[in-house]
Amino acid sequence: MATSSKKWKASYDSNSKYNSNWEKTYSWLKRSSDGSEAAYCKLCRCTVAPRITSISNHEKSEKHRMKTPSKSQSQLITTITPRQSNDKVKAAELQLAVSNTHN
Ligand SMILES: [Zn+2]
């Protein structure tokens, strides 16, 4: 009886490994932080299969596009000038230091 049918043949996809070069194309992409080969979308905060087709499909998905900041609108940085009020505190500290004059 020769029952050596190779049923569980390697269905493992050897191409599904994370490639850090993808980050050059997709700035929102990073490697999953759990040490696996999975990719991770920083915008959607979800895991993406480590395949270029899955990644490009994810970029086109409506979910992802909603999160993508439009390139025409550059980020406006509003500069807030802090108020300067440090001098009055120092004067109060000097008055407290006078009371102890015993040797
Ligand atoms: Zn996304």
Report pLDDT digits (tens) over 45-96: 999 999 999 999 999 999 999 999 876 544 555 555 566 556 676 777 777 7
Structural domain count of the chain: 1
24 secondary structure, DSSP code: H
pLDDT surpasses 80 at 24: yes
pTM of the model: 0.55
Asked whether residue 35 is domain-assigned, the answer is yes
E-state strands within the chain: 29-31, 39-41, 46-48
Q: Which domain holds residue 24?
A: 15-68
Q: How far is the CA of 1 from the centre of ligand 1 (A)?
A: 53
Asked whether residue 8 is domain-assigned, the answer is no
pLDDT of residue 98: 67
Q: How far is the CA of 65 from the centre of ligand 1 (A)?
A: 7
Asked whether residue 23 is domain-assigned, the answer is yes
Residue 31, classified by CB atoms within 10 Å of its CB into exposed (0-12), middle (13-18) or buried (19+), is: middle
Print the SS3 string covering 37-62: CCEEECCCCEEECCCHHHHHHHHHCH
Q: How far is the CA of 40 from the centre of ligand 1 (A)?
A: 8
Q: How far is the CA of 21 from the centre of ligand 1 (A)?
A: 17
Q: How far is the CA of 55 from the centre of ligand 1 (A)?
A: 9
